[in-house]
C-alpha cells in the first residue's frame, strides 16, 4: 500500500502534490518523491523517511513546473531508501512512473530486460515498469502503457508521464484504488479522495482493469482492451478528516473493509499458476526443512493469536511439534530450543520489545529465525534469517484487524512451502488448500456482508459487563482473537476458552442473558461444541454462533447465527474472524468509545 498523487494544470505542481501526499501518509510513509515536468524536461526529487523530509529538500531546492506526479511509499520490494523511493524512471529519463501495489512477475520481466542490457538503479518492481513503458514508447504514452501493462501481472495502480508529452498523465488501475479529481483547467489523480478534496469535490472513480488519459483540459477512461468507458462524476461532501478514513467513521472499520484487498496482496505472486509457493525472502538452507524437529512461534497480543492458528495448521499439515508462546514468557523461560528448529516471530510492527527479545534468544540458541511481519525494514525483519511480509498496508487503528488476517495467510503459505519440501501434504489436500486460499479474497468480501446482522446482534452486548467466546481447535484460536477485539475497544470484560473447558469453572459465571459467542466451523468437533452450547443455554445464556452459510443445524442450538461462506475447515479462521471484528467494532461504537485509540493501549509496545 502506498499513496499516489498526480497534478496537471496551471499552478505550481510540487506544493499541490506534497499537500496531497500528506493526506495520503496513512497509506505509507517510509520514503517519498515527486517528478515535475516544467514543459521542457522532467526532474525527480526523492527522500527516505517521512514526507516532511522530502518537503524540506524541496524547500531548499524547489522544482518548478505545473505538471507532476508524487508518491509516499510503504515498501514491499526493496528496503526503504532514497534509491527505492518513487518516482522511478527508465535509464534515459524519458518515462517516469509512480506505482502502488505489486507486479508479481517483475523478476521475470527484470531478467528479460537485463538480458538485453538494461541496468537498474533500484530493487523495486516499479522501475521495471518504467523500463517496460520506455521500451514500448513511440510517441504515445497511452499506447506504450497499454502494451507494457499487458506484460505485467499483479494488483497495482500506476501513473506515468513522458518527457516528450508535457501535461499528459496516463494511469492504470488493477485492483489498487485510483480516483480522478476534476478542476477548472486542472486535473488530479490520487489513490484516495482526501488528497484532492481541498481542490475539488468532483471525483471520478476508476474501476479495475481501466486506463485513464488525462490532460489539464479533461479526462478519458477506457478499458485495457481500448473500449471507451462512460463514467459519472461523483460529488463528495465529506469533511477532510472523514475523507482520510475513506468515508468510514474510524480507521478500524476502514481496515476491516480493506481485508479483501490486503489478502489479495499477501497472496499476490506467491501461489504460482504451476502450483508452487514462492516466498521471496524465505531461503531455507538445503536439508533444513527435511531435518526440522520443532517450530516455535513467539509473539504478543493479536500476533500471538495468529500464532495459535499457525500452531494448529503447522501440526496438522506438517506433523511437526509446534509451540506458540508469549514472547515475554519465552524470553525468561530458559526454553528447550534445541535440535533443528525454526522460530517464527510474528509482529505487525516488527518492533515489539518482547518479541524482539524472544527472537534474539532463539537465535542465540541456534534456531533459524523467520520474521512474519507487516513492516518492511523493521528491526525484526533485519534480525531474521528469513522474512515473510504480510503486505497488509499501514494499520492505523490500535486494534489490529487486517494485519491479523494477513498473518494467517502468511502461515498457510509457509505451511504449504514446508509441507511440500517435506513431501507430507497429500496432493488432494494440497490442491484443496491452494484452491481455498485463492478463493479467500472474494469470500472475505462475502463475510463482510454480515455487518447488518452484526449491528442487530451488537445490541445484546451493549449493556453487559461480561461476555465469553468459545470454540474448539482452530475455532478456539479465533475465539481468543474475537475476545481480545471485544475487550480492547468495548471495555467489556471478555474471556475466551476452549468449549470443553467451560464446565470446569467459568460456567458458574453464566446467568440469564449472558452473551456467549461460539465459533462453530470445524466439522470434526461440531457435535462436541454443540454440547457446550447446550450447557450455557441451560443457564440462560444468549448464544451467537459464527457458522457456515450452509449450516442448517446451527439455529437449532444458537439464538443467532452470523454466516460465513463455506471454505476448507483449515482455512476457516480467515473468514470466521471477520464477523467477530465487526461485532467488537459495533459494540464499542454503540458504547460510544474512542475506537481507534482505546484507553491505556498503544499500537506498538517498544518497551518491556
The C-alpha atoms of residue 550 and residue 552 are separated, in whole angstroms, by 6
Could you tell me which stretch among 172-180, 344-352, 506-514, 546-554 binds ligand G6P (CB under 6 A)?
344-352
Of these residues, 294, 363, 449, 603, which one is catalytic?
603
The residue among 132 and 403 lying less far from ligand G6P, judged by its C-beta, is 403
The C-alpha atoms of residue 566 and residue 591 are separated, in whole angstroms, by 32
Question: Any contact of residue 390 with ligand G6P (CB under 6 A)?
Answer: no
The residue among 506 and 604 lying less far from ligand G6P, judged by its C-beta, is 604
Question: Any contact of residue 44 with ligand G6P (CB under 6 A)?
Answer: no
The residue among 199 and 391 lying less far from ligand G6P, judged by its C-beta, is 391
Could you tell me which stretch among 136-144, 449-457, 507-515, 598-606 binds ligand G6P (CB under 6 A)?
598-606
Residue 347 beta carbon to ligand G6P: minimum distance, rounded to whole angstroms: 3
The residue among 7 and 74 lying less far from ligand G6P, judged by its C-beta, is 74
Residue 328 beta carbon to ligand G6P: minimum distance, rounded to whole angstroms: 11
Could you tell me which stretch among 82-90, 275-283, 342-350, 587-595 binds ligand G6P (CB under 6 A)?
342-350
Could you tell me which stretch among 171-179, 216-224, 447-455, 595-603 binds ligand G6P (CB under 6 A)?
595-603
Could you tell me which stretch among 101-109, 149-157, 349-357, 519-527 binds ligand G6P (CB under 6 A)?
349-357
Quote the DSSP letter at residue 430. H
Q: What is the largest CA-CA distance in the chain?
A: 79
Q: Give percent helix, percent strand, percent coil of the chain, each to the nearest 5.
A: 40, 25, 40
The residue among 97 and 356 lying less far from ligand G6P, judged by its C-beta, is 356
Residue 603 beta carbon to ligand G6P: minimum distance, rounded to whole angstroms: 6
**Secondary structure E strands in 408-526:** 466-471, 493-498, 515-520
Within 262-321, which residues bind ligand G6P (CB under 6 A)? 300-303
Question: Any contact of residue 408 with ligand G6P (CB under 6 A)?
Answer: no
Number of residues binding to ligand G6P, judged by CB under 6 A:
16
C-alpha distances in Å from residue 109, one per residue of 116, 130, 172: 11, 12, 18
Angle between helices 573-590 and 451-458 (to 10 degrees): 50
Using CB under 6 A, pick the residue from 45, 176, 349, 390 that binds ligand G6P.
349
Residue 184 beta carbon to ligand G6P: minimum distance, rounded to whole angstroms: 45
The C-alpha atoms of residue 375 and residue 362 are separated, in whole angstroms, by 21
DSSP for 515-552 reads: EEEEEE--GGGHHHHHHHHHHHHTTT-EEEEEEETT-S
Residue 300 appears among annotated catalytic residues:
no
Q: Report the side by side order of strands in the sheet with 368-373.
A: 322-326, 294-299, 341-347, 368-373, 386-389
Using CB under 6 A, pick the residue from 266, 341, 355, 406 that binds ligand G6P.
355
Question: Any contact of residue 601 with ligand G6P (CB under 6 A)?
Answer: yes
Question: Any contact of residue 379 with ligand G6P (CB under 6 A)?
Answer: no
Question: Any contact of residue 604 with ligand G6P (CB under 6 A)?
Answer: yes
Cell numbers 527516505 correspond to 48
The C-alpha angle with vertex 246 and arms to 243 and 249, in degrees rounded to 5, equals: 85
Within 234-253, which residues bind ligand G6P (CB under 6 A)? none
Question: Any contact of residue 343 with ligand G6P (CB under 6 A)?
Answer: no
The C-alpha atoms of residue 414 and residue 314 are separated, in whole angstroms, by 9
Residue 471 beta carbon to ligand G6P: minimum distance, rounded to whole angstroms: 20
Of these residues, 2, 46, 254, 311, which one is catalytic?
2
Using CB under 6 A, pick the residue from 352, 379, 572, 581 that binds ligand G6P.
352
Question: Any contact of residue 347 with ligand G6P (CB under 6 A)?
Answer: yes
Could you tell me which stretch among 2-10, 39-47, 345-353, 531-539 binds ligand G6P (CB under 6 A)?
345-353
Residue 358 sits at φ, ψ, to 5 deg, of: -65, -40
The residue among 304 and 519 lying less far from ligand G6P, judged by its C-beta, is 304
The C-alpha atoms of residue 86 and residue 122 are separated, in whole angstroms, by 10
Q: Which residue is nearest to ligand G6P (CB)?
A: 301
The residue among 18 and 346 lying less far from ligand G6P, judged by its C-beta, is 346
Residue 449 appears among annotated catalytic residues:
no
- The answer to whether the bond into 587 is cis (omega within 30° of 0) is no
Please compute, for residue 524, the number of CA atoms within 13 A of its CA located in the half-sphere on the CB side.
7
The total of other beta-carbon atoms located within 10 Å of residue 182's CB is 18
CB 14, CB 52: distance < 8 Å: no
Residue (of 252, 244, 258, 180) closest to 212 by Cα position: 180
CB 212, CB 219: distance < 8 Å: yes
Please compute Rg for the chain using Cα positions: 25
CB 120, CB 127: distance < 8 Å: yes
Using CB under 6 A, pick the residue from 24, 320, 398, 437 that binds ligand G6P.
398
The residue among 187 and 398 lying less far from ligand G6P, judged by its C-beta, is 398
Quote the DSSP letter at residue 277. B
Question: Any contact of residue 400 with ligand G6P (CB under 6 A)?
Answer: yes
Active site residues: 2, 603
List interacting residues with ligand G6P (CB under 6 A): 300-303, 347-349, 352, 355, 398, 400, 601-605
Amino acid at each position: 500500500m502506498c499513496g499516489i498523487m498526480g497534478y496537471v494544470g496551471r499552478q505550481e505542481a510540487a506544493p499541490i502534490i506534497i499537500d496531497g501526499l500528506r493526506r495520503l501518509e496513512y497509506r505509507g510513509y517510509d520514503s517519498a518523491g515527486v517528478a515535475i515536468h516544467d514543459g521542457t524536461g522532467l526532474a525527480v526529487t526523492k527522500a527516505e523517511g517521512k514526507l516532511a523530509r522530502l518537503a524540506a529538500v524541496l524547500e531548499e531546492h524547489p522544482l518548478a513546473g505545473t505538471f507532476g506526479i508524487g508518491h509516499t511509499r510503504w515498501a514491499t520490494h526493496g528496503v526503504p531508501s532514497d534509491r527505492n523511493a518513487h518516482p522511478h524512471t527508465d535509464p534515459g529519463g524519458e518515462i517516469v512512473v509512480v506505482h502502488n501495489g505489486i507486479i508479481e512477475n517483475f523478476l521475470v520481466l527484470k531478467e528479460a530486460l537485463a538480458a538485453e542490457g538494461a541496468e537498474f538503479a533500484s530493487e523495486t518492481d516499479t522501475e521495471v515498469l518504467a523500463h517496460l513503458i520506455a521500451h514500448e514508447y513511440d510517441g504515445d504514452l497511452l499506447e506504450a502503457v497499454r502494451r507494457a501493462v499487458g506484460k505485467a501481472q499483479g494488483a497495482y495502480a500506476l501513473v506515468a508521464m513522458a518527457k516528450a508529452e508535457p501535461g499528459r498523465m496516463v494511469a492504470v488501475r488493477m485492483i489498487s484504488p485510483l480516483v480522478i479529481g476534476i478542476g477548472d483547467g486542472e486535473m488530479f489523480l490520487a489513490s484516495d479522495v482526501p488528497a484532492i478534496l481541498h481542490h475539488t469535490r468532483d471525483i471520478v472513480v476508476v474501476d479495475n482493469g481501466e486506463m485513464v488519459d488525462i490532460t489539464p483540459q479533461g479526462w478519458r477512461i477506457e478499458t485495457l482492451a481500448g473500449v471507451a468507458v462512460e463514467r459519472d462524476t461523483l460529488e463528495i461532501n465529506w469533511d477532510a478528516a472523514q475523507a482520510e478514513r475513506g468515508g468510514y467513521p474510524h480507521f478500524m472499520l476502514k481496515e476491516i473493509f480493506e481485508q479483501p484487498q490486503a489478502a489479495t496482496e499477501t497472496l499476490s505472486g506467491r501461489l504460482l499458476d504451476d502450483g508452487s509457493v514462492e516466498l521471496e525472502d524465505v531461503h531455507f538452507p538445503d536439508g533444513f526443512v527435511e531435518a526440522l524437529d520443532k517450530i516455535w512461534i513467539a509473539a504478543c497480543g493479536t500476533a500471538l493469536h495468529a500464532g495459535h492458528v499457525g500452531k494448529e495448521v503447522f501440526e496438522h499439515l506438517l506433523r511437526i511439534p509446534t509451540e506458540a508462546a508469549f514472547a515475554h514468557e519465552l524470553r525468561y523461560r530458559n526454553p528447550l530450543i534445541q535440535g533443528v528448529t525454526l522460530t517464527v516471530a510474528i509482529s505487525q510492527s516488527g518492533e515489539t520489545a518482547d518479541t524482539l527479545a524472544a527472537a534474539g534468544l532463539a537465535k542465540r540458541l541456534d534456531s533459524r529465525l523467520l520474521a512474519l511481519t507487516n513492516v518492511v525494514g523493521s528491526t525484526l525483519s533485519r534480525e531474521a534469517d528469513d522474512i515473510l511480509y504480510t503486505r497488509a498496508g499501514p494499520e492505523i487503528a490500535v486494534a489490529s484487524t487486517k494485519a491479523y488476517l494477513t498473518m494467517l495467510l502468511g502461515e498457510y503459505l509457509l505451511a504449504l512451502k514446508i509441507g511440500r519440501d517435506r513431501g507430507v501434504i497429500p496432493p488432494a489436500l494440497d490442491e484443496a488448500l491452494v484452491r481455498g486460499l485463492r478463493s479467500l479474497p472474494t469470500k472475505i468480501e462475502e463475510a463482510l456482508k454480515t455487518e447488518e446482522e452484526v449491528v442487530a446482534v451488537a445490541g445484546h452486548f451493549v449493556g453487559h459487563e461480561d461476555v465469553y467466546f468459545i470454540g474448539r481447535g482452530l475455532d478456539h484460536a479465533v475465539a481468543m482473537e474475537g475476545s481480545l477485539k471485544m475487550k480492547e475497544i468495548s471495555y467489556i470484560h471478555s474471556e475466551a476458552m476452549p468449549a470443553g473447558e467451560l464446565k470446569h469453572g467459568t460456567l458458574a459465571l453464566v446467568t440469564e442473558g449472558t452473551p456467549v459467542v461460539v465459533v462453530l466451523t470445524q466439522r470434526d468437533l461440531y457435535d462436541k461444541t454443540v454440547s457446550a452450547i447446550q450447557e450455557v443455554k441451560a443457564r440462560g445464556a444468549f448464544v451467537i454462533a459464527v457458522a457456515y452459510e450452509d449450516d442448517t443445524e446451527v439455529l437449532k442450538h444458537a439464538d443467532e447465527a452470523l454466516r460465513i461462506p463455506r471454505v476448507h475447515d483449515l482455512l476457516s479462521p480467515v473468514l470466521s474472524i471477520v464477523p467477530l471484528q465487526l461485532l467488537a467494532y459495533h459494540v464499542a461504537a454503540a458504547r460510544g468509545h474512542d475506537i481507534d485509540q482505546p484507553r491505556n493501549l498503544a499500537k506498538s509496545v517498544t518497551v518491556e
